[in-house]
Structure 1
Amino acid sequence: MQEYAKDLPPDHPIRVYLEENEYLRDLLFQLHPLNPEVEYQLAYNLFNQIAQVDVRYTRKENQFFPFLEKRGWFGPSQGMWRFHDENRKLIREARKKIEARDFHGLKEDLDLLIGELLRMTEVEEFRLFPTALQILLPEDWEAMKLGEGEIGWMHKKTKEEPPAASTIADLKLPDGVFPFSEGRMTIEQVNMLLQAMPFDLTYVDETDRVVFYNRGAERVFPRSAGVIGREVRFCHPPKSVDTVLKILEEFRAGRRDVADFWINYRGRVVHIRYFAVRDAGKNYRGVIEVTQDVTEIQKLTGEKRLLDWS
């Protein structure tokens, strides 16, 4: 354990990262002397454990870097993330050879990977972590811990439940900003977000009445303010009512959580999905209907990795 971390609480993010590094180094030192062709299964098992470093990188990118940015240090987000991706690429390339039992150059590829992963741990321990301890405030570390368990750790096998909304609400927020289970926004931001969503969203509460719909620019099916408070059975064509009521019955009984359909509508392919809404106690609190025009999505083939607005 690094000297700067010895007095930190056991659950402090820096101590957890350092413990994770010790775990990772142990795996790397076990893999390094192996000949993967001769000791294939052991090398493969160790490699799979090492590949879980992706979980660690994801946690850094989503839980660590944002707090550094908040305090004015953008270097890790702009530079270290790129090295994360380069190491991920090395892992993907090595995996292809291992799983295909292609041993030509595999030992060299693994040695390169080991060296780069070790180099990253050194940068973390001698630059990233000490600097973070200097610039981050106690409340930053406490907030950081709240979401780490959702992503997980490479040296722990279980994830933690998301932080309770009440825990997030305890964080000091500016006036007009409201806490949500996964963040905080103003009412204006919530409305803009819902309107910008590329699908139609309708929320029916546990009494089977419509309480919300988003007013997007191009809705698939029309909605107007008069629908608010209306019983959902009267919001659908007569031929669809029995199906809607069946979905509500199954959701309310807890037997189902999802139902979906796809139809041809005015020359477009429309995907209609229903999702049960339940509170923390698994009690039924209604249903959301998500309707999306998937005509263009159905046409997707291959990959598109470059921006092209032509």
Structure 2
Amino acid sequence: MNTVIPVIDTLAEGHPVRVYFEEAKLIEGLLKELHTVNPSEDFQKYYNIFNQLATIEKRFARKENQLFPYLEKYEWYGPTKQMWSFHDTLRDQIRLLNTHNEAHNISKIKEDLPYLSDGIKRLLEIEKMRLFPNAIDLLSEADWKEFYEGDEEIGWMLPNKPMPYPAIVKRAYEHPSQATNAPDLSFSLDNTFHYDEGYMTPEQVNLLLRVLPFDVTYVDENDKVIFYNRGDNRVFPRSKGIIGREVKFCHPPKSVDTVLKILEEFKAGRQDVADFWFDMKGQIIYIRYFAIRDNNKAYKGVLEVSQDITNIKKLEGQKRLLDWA
């Protein structure tokens, strides 16, 4: 039976699989603690352990956005289609337990906690025996070296950030307009592009997209993700692993049919907008899909916009004055 354990010690510090294994040991320890604590006798201790375990969402998101795209590159689609569904089942169980936690419903906590615990144990076993051994066989060293930036963007369960793999040297961005012979103008057109209305440099466009109060993702006419903006408070996690990935693999399996239907209608020209809204972790999330077409109405892709509208929904009356202290 295949297993990743024998090769763990041969992997360098910070290697993504080594980090996953370190997280697995942390998760196993948390599960043991949950098994020994009695919520009815020490609810706060149970609650603290549960909340630490719930950060397993970071592990799920890294696998879905980072590891799975590389496995797809080598035509192994099983994890995307099957393990993602497993993740979603565990997410549902965590959400259910959170409702019990908020209500201090001890009997329901004791009834449902074993399902989550057993599910996580099963997932860790599948990772150890199949997912990571196959990943090590399939991915090249160059592939693994591309993980760190995206992994860091999503985060880890570990108390301390893992060492970079390999060491990352960040170079300061040098804008062409900083050249000594740049014209001394209040508004320079150096390195700018002309848009429908006005001019901006690539740097300015990037800054503008980064500060948008919502997430945007651009899928081209070939159904490949070619862009997403990197805001500080994203609704859904994204990392550079999705760039070039087929959009149907960027959504949970239960949502794929809906995504494909939207693409079909947009490409056929029958629809131009699709929108959804729902509650998630106490937030009201609004998602909209827009067909992108050129001046000749030819289909050029889809723009996905996701936004937390919780506070917007609360607005009433008017505010016409600045109320800064």
| TM-score tier after normalising by the smaller chain length | 0.5 to 0.7
Structure 1 equivalent of residue 14 of structure 2: 11
> Could you tell me how far apart the structure 1 residues matched to 2:212 and 2:22 are?
44
Encode CA deviations 1:89-108: one digit per residue, 9 max, x unaligned.
10011011112211232112
Q: How does 1:188-203 map to 2 (within 5 A)?
A: none
> Does the 8 A contact of 1:20 with 1:154 survive in 2?
yes
Matched, 1:48 2:58: no
Deviation at residue 152 of structure 1 after TM alignment? 1.1
- TM-score normalised by structure 2 residue count: 0.53
Deviations 1:273-301 (A, max 9, x none): xx9xxxxxxxxxxxxxxxxxxxx99x978
Show the counterpart of 1:84: 87
Residues 51-62 of structure 1 aligned to structure 2 (within 5 Å): 51-62=54-65
Q: Which runs of 5+ in 1 are unaligned?
A: 168-205, 216-222, 230-256, 261-274, 276-295
- 2:52 and 2:118 map into 1 onto residues whose CA distance is 16
Q: Which amino acid is 1:64 matched to?
A: L
Deviates further, 104-113 or 44-53: 104-113
Q: What are the Cα deviations for residues 216-263 of structure 1, in whole angstroms up to 9, with x where unaligned?
A: xxxxxxx3xxx449xxxxxxxxxxxxxxxxxxxxxxxxxxx9899xxx
Q: 2:136 aligns with which of 115, 133, 137?
A: 133
Give the Cα separation in 1 of the matches to 2:116 and 2:278.
Answer: 32
Q: Which residue of 1 aligns with 2:149?
A: 146
Q: Distance in 2 between matches of 1:129 and 1:114?
A: 21
Structure 1 counterpart of 2:100: 97
Q: Give the aligned CA root-mean-square deviation in angstroms.
A: 4.0
Give the Cα separation in 2 of the matches to 1:74 and 1:92.
Answer: 27
Per-residue CA distance 1:58-89 (angstroms, 9 max, x = gap): 01111111111111111111111111111011
| CA contact 1:94–1:106 (8 Å) conserved in 2 | yes
Among 15, 24, 40, the alignment partner of 1:37 is 40
Alignment partner, residue 72 of structure 1: 75
Are the aligned partners of 1:59 and 1:148 in contact in 2 as well (CA < 8 Å)? yes
**Count of paired positions:** 200
Question: 1: CA distance between counterparts of 2:51 and 2:11?
Answer: 31
Q: Secondary structure at the match of 1:26?
A: helix
Does structure 1 retain, via aligned residues, the 8 Å contact 2:39–2:46? Answer: yes
Deviations 1:189-219 (A, max 9, x none): xxxxxxxxxxxxxxxxx9445744544xxxx
User: Who is 1:112 aligned against?
Assistant: 115
The amino acid of 1:18's aligned partner reads F
Structure with larger RCO (C-alpha < 8 A, sep 6+): 2
Matched AA of 2:156: W
Kindly state the Cα deviation for residue 6 of structure 1 after the two structures are TM-superposed.
Answer: 1.7
TM-score by length of structure 1 reads: 0.55
Residue pair 1:151, 1:159 contacting (<8 A) in 2 also: no
Aligned partner of 1:28 in structure 2 is 31
Aligned-pair identity in percent equals 35
Task: Work out the CA distance in 2 between the residues paired with 1:305 and 1:160.
Answer: 37
Residues 207 and 116 (structure 1), Cα distance of their counterparts in 2 relative to 1, 3 Å cut:
farther
**Which one-letter code corresponds to 1:54 in the other structure?**
E
CA distance in 2, matches of 1:207, 1:308: 38
The 1:38/1:8 distance shift into structure 2, 3 A limit, reads same
Structure 2 unaligned spans of 5+: 173-184, 201-209, 214-230, 232-272, 291-325
Superposition misfits of 4+ residues, deviation over 2 angstroms: 156-161, 163-167, 206-215, 257-260, 299-309
CA contact under 8 A between 1:150 and 1:159: conserved in structure 2? no
Say if 2:16 and 2:144, in contact at 8 Å, map to a contact too.
yes
Question: Per-residue deviation at 1:308?
Answer: 11
| Structure with bigger gyration radius | 1
Closer/same/farther in 2, CA of residues 42 and 209 from structure 1, 3 Å limit: same
CA distance in structure 2 between the aligned counterparts of 1:146 and 1:59, rounded to whole angstroms: 11
Matches within 5 A, 1:162-241: 207-209=186-188, 211-212=192-193, 214-215=195-196, 223=197, 227-228=198-199
Give 1:4 deviation, angstroms. 2.2
Other-structure match for 2:175: none
